Amino acid sequence: MFDQKLKVTYAIDTLDTSPEVKFFNLFHEVEDYLTEEVERRVQWAVNHSQTSISEEERQELQEIEYSLITIEEIKKVPLEFIFGQAS
């Protein structure tokens, strides 16, 4: 009866006024997307760093990336459920 979606908001940084927003039907889709996207962004930072990145610094970059993500559960309720059947 209730339709449910997951809304993922992923900012570039803490001041991002236009973060990337995606919707998913299943949580494992969210996990797959975030695993790939966090790795992509961390790898970009590593590749473009002017100095060598240690494993500890890489983990810190991952923590920063995960802090830029919010996940919300969105429930859609049919209007018929709220207002009754339309005649």
Q: Is 87 contained in some domain?
A: no
Nearest to 67 by CA among 26, 8, 13, 24: 13
Q: Is 23 contained in some domain?
A: yes
pLDDT tens-digit series, residues 51-75: 999 999 999 999 999 999 999 999 8
What pTM does this model have? 0.80
For 8-73, the DSSP string reads EEE-SSTT-SS-EEEEESSHHHHHHHHHHHHHHHHHHHHHT-SS---HHHHHHHHHHHHHTEEEEE
Q: Is 32 contained in some domain?
A: yes
The model's confidence at residue 76, banded by pLDDT at 50, 70 and 90, is: confident
Q: Is 58 contained in some domain?
A: yes
pLDDT on residue 14: 93
pLDDT tens-digit series, residues 30-52: 999 999 999 999 999 999 999 99
Q: Is 86 contained in some domain?
A: no
Q: Is 84 contained in some domain?
A: no
Q: Is 48 contained in some domain?
A: yes
User: What domain count does the chain have?
Assistant: 1
Q: Is 85 contained in some domain?
A: no
Rounded CA-CA distance 44/1 in Å is 43
Structure tokens at 56: 């500890």
